[in-house]
Structure 1
């Protein structure tokens, strides 16, 4: 199956490089969407757990709330990273590793969301969730209606933009260890907010590429387990989009 590059590291060409034999037990778009919905529920379940842990601790002693959820954030972050590697290098295991990834990411997102909600003292988490679903629905509509066409130039443009963002984040992360001032990225200034808006836009465009890859894999008769892999790749982008929207809202709230 010939599928062009994607900026989503999950959807590498090698995963889709073989010609699948068509059978009755093949990947479908509806099956992938159903598994995406299930993974989303698992993310919510994990997030509710750490969210409640944080606010239960904050109710008794606000100063210790972060330390209470810190181990769960660590578990979620490390566990999520490991399951990403397992899923990417062994797609056949995605039926097991993808749901586990969703739970780990839920633990991480719940803790991060609770901390930022407390720091800003505004309902930014609910707004971020609603905006994430709104962007998802909008991009799906734009893709399905053909308003946004996934051409090779479009793919390469999104790929280049995503790689550029990753490079900026990497340089700022390493530079932080050497005293580099990263307030222009993580502060609440106009440039920082503008940068976050650009990142949100690029993350949204990555959803279009994900839709395209899932549809192409389905059309090519990919095996049934690829529904889990497709759902996994889509969740990676959705989680990135949510985090970027949450960060953007936190920056805006800090200016009030």
Structure 2
């Protein structure tokens, strides 16, 4: 099977071990819907809770971020536990996204709904594109993989430089910052197509049933990445 562009999926699919059951696309879709529902409930809860000035905003943000990172890394490298960790990952991410979105909304009123809408549009568009031209995944896989690694390296460089008081222009609201955000959004959107393709191929090749949770987890990682990048881009536009 071709290399998966989503690092969250790549590590786990290579370690999948048959257990006598078979992964299906329909089963994966059900898992995606379950995770989305959990994330949505947690999102709404944190959105409402953080309107209360007595709520410790920073503590909730740190806990949800830490939980998301730990569960995300564990699930990426130990796919069999996805059936247990995926729902908790969705809950942590829901709280995290709710708090982040609430913050952006307070800074730029009206920004969250367009970000959600654009994310849904990208999701629907990529599904339609993949259904119409499924071979597109093979044509873009290498480029998307290289782009994701490059983006990760740039983010890491930016984090290191920030310790020395240096801020890369990609984080600004100028032409470079907006251009970089558009590039990242394009790659995240293309990654959705790769996720669809890998889930389909994995089900065709008879991967074990628990990989449905893993496939749903990987797709959710991409969607969350896409949403936060769109939110960031709209914030840059609003800042101008």
TM-score, normalised to structure 1, is 0.88
What is the CA-CA distance between 1:13 and the residue it aligns to?
5.7
Q: Distance in 2 between matches of 1:235 and 1:248?
A: 20
Pair 1:79-2:64 in alignment:
no
CA deviation after TM superposition for structure 1 residue 192, in Å? 0.7
Candidates 173, 197, 222, aligned match of 1:188:
173
Residue 12 (1) aligns with residue 10 (2): yes
Which is higher, the Rg of structure 1 or of structure 2? 1
**1:37 aligns to what?**
33
Q: How many residues align?
A: 240
SS in 2 for 1:200: helix
**144, 154, 157: which is aligned to 2:140?**
154
For 1:172 and 1:33, the matched residues in 2 are separated by 36
Q: Moved runs in structure 1, 4+ residues, more than 4 A?
A: 17-21
Q: Unpaired segments of 5 or more residues in structure 1? A: 58-63
The answer for the alignment partner of 1:116 in structure 2 is 104
Query: Structure 1 pair 106/18, CA: closer, same or farther in 2 (3 Å)?
Result: closer
Structure 2 residue runs of 5 or longer lacking an equivalent are: none
The 1:101–1:246 alpha-carbon spacing in structure 2 relative to 1, beyond 3 Å, is: same
Give the conservation status (yes or no) of the 8 Å contact 1:6–1:209.
Answer: yes
Please state how far the C-alpha of 1:93 moved relative to its aligned partner.
Answer: 1.4
> Given the superposition, is the C-alpha separation of residues 49 and 217 from structure 1 closer, same or farther in structure 2, using an over 3 Å criterion?
same
Question: Structure 2: how far apart are the matches of 1:80 and 1:17?
Answer: 21
In structure 2, relative to structure 1, the CA distance for the partners of 1:171 and 1:218 (3 Å cut) is same
Structure 1 residues 103 and 226, CA gap change in structure 2 (3 angstroms): same
CA shift, 1:87, in A, is 1.2
Aligned to 1:50: 46
**Matching residue of 1:254:** 239
Aligned CA RMSD, in angstroms, stands at 1.8
Q: 1:16 offset after TM fit, Å?
A: 3.8
Cross-structure match for 2:126: 139
2: CA distance, partners of 1:14 / 1:49: 31
Residues 20 and 220 in structure 1, CA contact (< 8 A), matched pair in contact too: no
After the TM superposition, which of the residue ranges 98-107 and 47-56 deviates more from structure 2?
47-56
1:244 to 210, 213, 229: 229
Instruction: Write the distance in 2 (CA, Å) between the matches of 1:14 and 1:245.
Output: 27
Q: Deviations over 1:180-214 (max 9, x none)?
A: 132x1122112111110111000000001100110
Indicate the SS of the match to 1:140: helix
